Chain A
Amino acid sequence: MSQIGSFALLLALALSTYSFLAGATALALPGPGSERLGETARRAGIATFAVVFLAAFVLVISAFQDDFSIAYIFHHSNRDLPAPYKFATLWSGQEGSLLFWSLLLAAYGLVLRLRHKTDTRLFAYASAIIAGVQIFFLLLLNFAAHPFALMLGELPADGAGLNPLLQYPEMVIHPPMLYLGYVGFTVPFAFALGALIMRYPGEKWIRITRRWTMVTWAFLTCGVFLGAHWAYSVLGWGGYWGWDPVENASLMPWLTGTAFLHSVMMQEKRGMLKMWNMWLIFATFWLAILGTFLTRSGIISSVHAFAQSSIGGWFKWFLLLTLATFTFFFFKNKSHLRSEHKLESLISRESSFLFNNLLLLLACFTVLWGTWFPLISEYVQGNKVTVGPPFYNKVAIPVALLLLLLTAVGPLLAWRKTSFESLKRNFMWPALGALAVGILMVIFGVRPWQDISYLYALMAAMLATLVGLAVASEFIRGGRVISRHTGQGLLASMVHLFHRNTRRYGGYIVHFGVAVVIVGILGTPFNQGKEQEMGFGDKMTIGPYTLLCESYTQDDNPNYSNEWAIISVFKGDRKIDTMYPERRFYKASQQPQTLPRIRSSYKEDLYLTYEGLNEQTGRPILKAHLNPLVMWLWVGVLIMIGGTLLGLIPNAAPLRVAAPARIQPAPAGAVD
């Protein structure tokens, strides 16, 4: 089996090299035969997918067959590993995840090549660029991180098993979502670079790329937040984001991708920010590659990182090569990217997009800077420092709050110019609502002067309210206009409104989702935690809950042995639940793991972890957290994803847009 996989990878490398070279030649040397040459390049790209798929298939089958002659399978699987995790072996290690990356890139390339008739020439450029990127990953797979390398010496009877932290349902979905996002940004980048190289006339390429970008962004959003949910559900510390370098690596392309999604609207509607958008999509693609470099090279320590390896050098060269290539074509063709319009007013949607981009890029820079500073410090001072949550919280939170303000204000601004009167009219009720929320919070006990985190929480709540009410006002105002014209009810009119411009109103729903996410986060300063030894019949009180330890029980299966604490949860005198925080011991890897149990409500999460036995007393230790509002974080993400998917729905009716009128000069002799 391993030979089939190895051969498939070699063949894939040959096919993608042909696809790149033939495609580039056909584009560079137009003439008789170039069309046919380009067609063979396209088909070679399609064949690459089939062959990479074969290699991935072989690896997965090897996991299911417990073929421990393959080193990768030995290190990441074992006989008693449940089937879903055997499938997930494909992406649980360095080599497999690179193969998975290559597979997804080939899949994106397949879809692109099948749809080439949309714009044959542009798609040909994009196909060649994707083939170029594919060559890099296949070179890695064939020569630096081979997934089918064989075990030396005697064949082991069983594998080393999967890391216990990865044996969780989200292991089956989080990495694929994340990789679909990371890899997906190669496609808009390929379109952008292709449009730059061919000096594409007009902005049609943006419209072609738009859906790819939105889908990719949705996948990355899903991947990032699934990772946060996984950390929350498995790690047991009661939090969901630790500013770990690998977490940061996923956030950076998300921030620049978000900036790109906004600023392309300016290019589409007003022919502005063309050069900026080129660099933005390049930065997004580049940061996605940088992120995977950070995860794999071992230069920055992280709980998420793969084992240190030598492939860091390969990534460094690839990053430099892509930067050099893009810079060359940018300076060669930048005269093609001049803006078509001028800015007419500081109070306009164009300005808000500019400031939106500024803040998103500032957030990205902050995260990048904090991630790299330990290395910079080691280089300059000779010693590493830690850049952890206190740094990011101090710097990133104010930026996030400013962004939230723009999220509320920006959609209320018109293109080109907005009058103060219009702004006041649109903003008054949302602003009053936000103020009311702030006052209520102070009345109900939030003291922003006591701690800066309380102040941030108050501001976040007010701004989230502002965003929510601004979005609602847009729907209601537009719905009322349609209702007046058509006689429909307000709700039906709002649905009609949405259908007439799904991207715009889908975007508003995403903004609303962001506000809900902020509500989920702003409860963090009010988290409570308690740790206590809990024997049979012992009680612990946290917030309004009383926890009673009923018992402990054990179980055993071929994969792990486990122990549960049986905890009854009371509110007042009323028993409301029984929770079973768990400890496991995985036999193959000889590693322990705690699995918290979470009782979620709209108000708060009750989060219990069974920590194990006190070494001195032998009594079990239970840790309890009370985390307000966390549920809204996950609800908000679902709204964001939903809004993005809704934004992909085609408009129900074409929009009429007034074109600039040409005034014909009066004929000679005409009377005024």
Chain B
Amino acid sequence: MIKTNRIFRRGWQLTLLSLAVSAFLGAGDEGTRFNSLGHRLMCVCSCSQILLECNHVGCTYSDRMRGELMASLDRGENDDLALQDFVQKYGPTVLAAPTAVGFNRVAWIMPFLALALGLMTTIFIVLAWKRRPALAAPGGVMPVSGGDLEHFRSQARKDTEL
């Protein structure tokens, strides 16, 4: 029993390790980093396109910027430093998305906050509707319920499915 547990534990650890190794495969590869960082920057030629996707005919910026990005990676700079170089040279609009720093954090938080609020509101509405008393039919007669209602419900389902 103890041996089985140990084998199971080792197997689980090995699986996690393999997953972790696979997850980080390619993470340090320079081509992958260039591609990843290049898609986090905007071309400043006013084409409003991602740097690596700029197809503005006659663009004088994108080639130079790509060269600068490659040079940053060749210098061994990490992602944050490489991006910071661009911000210092071209301004904050060179980044394709707001940073998660200061007021810019609000950009990222708001959609998830909206989801949480929306979810809570929806659940509240659902619960409020469920608690609502059944409406009385005209003439003071109570609506059909129980077995008769199930019968009519399945009949209606059959009819409308056809």
Residue pair A237, B156 in contact (C-beta under 8 Å): no
Closest to B144 in A: A661
Residue pair B162, A449 in contact (C-beta under 8 Å): no
Residue pair A373, B98 in contact (C-beta under 8 Å): yes
Closest to B159 in A: A656
Give Cα A450–Cα B32 distance, bound, in whole angstroms. Answer: 12
8 Å CB contact of B39 from A390, A394, A658, A662: A390
Give Cα A377–Cα B99 distance, bound, in whole angstroms. Answer: 12
Digitize B92-128: 1 where CB-to-A-CB distance is under 8 Å, 0 elsewhere. Answer: 1111111000111001101110110011001001100
B71 vs chain A, min Cβ distance (A): 17
Interface residues on B, range: 35 or more
What chain B residues lie within 8 Å of A450 (beta carbons)?
22-23, 25-26
B51 vs chain A, min Cβ distance (A): 10
8 Å CB contact of B23 from A238, A449, A611, A655: A449
Known: A242-B49, A387-B107, A660-B144. A342 touches B125 (CB 8 A): no
B107 vs chain A, min Cβ distance (A): 5
Residue pair B97, A361 in contact (C-beta under 8 Å): no
What chain B residues lie within 8 Å of A481 (beta carbons)?
161-162
Choose among A339, A449, A593, A655 the residue with the greatest number of B CB atoms under 10 Å from its CB. A449
A504 vs chain B, min Cβ distance (A): 9
Known: A237-B54, A450-B22, A450-B23. A339 touches B95 (CB 8 A): no
* B157 sits at the interface (CB 8 A): yes
* A351 sits at the interface (CB 8 A): yes
What chain B residues lie within 8 Å of A344 (beta carbons)?
130
A375 vs chain B, min Cβ distance (A): 12
Residue pair B125, A354 in contact (C-beta under 8 Å): yes
* B50 sits at the interface (CB 8 A): yes
* B132 sits at the interface (CB 8 A): yes
Number of residues in A with C-beta < 8 Å to the partner? Answer: 77
Residue pair B97, A362 in contact (C-beta under 8 Å): no
Within 8 A of A (CB), among B123-144: 125-126, 129-130, 132-135, 137, 139, 141-144
B89 vs chain A, min Cβ distance (A): 15
Residue pair A238, B110 in contact (C-beta under 8 Å): no
Residue pair B156, A658 in contact (C-beta under 8 Å): yes
Residue pair B159, A657 in contact (C-beta under 8 Å): yes
Known: A236-B55, A388-B42, A481-B161. A341 touches B148 (CB 8 A): no
* A612 sits at the interface (CB 8 A): yes
* A31 sits at the interface (CB 8 A): no
A527 vs chain B, min Cβ distance (A): 10
What chain B residues lie within 8 Å of A497 (beta carbons)?
162
A388 vs chain B, min Cβ distance (A): 4
Could you list some 6 contacts between A and B, CB below 8 A? A235-B55, A303-B48, A339-B129, A346-B126, A354-B126, A388-B42
B residues neighboring A (CB under 8 Å): 19, 22-23, 25-26, 39-40, 42, 46-50, 52-55, 57-58, 91-98, 102-104, 107-108, 110-112, 114-115, 118-119, 122, 125-126, 129-130, 132-135, 137, 139, 141-144, 148, 152-153, 155-157, 159-162
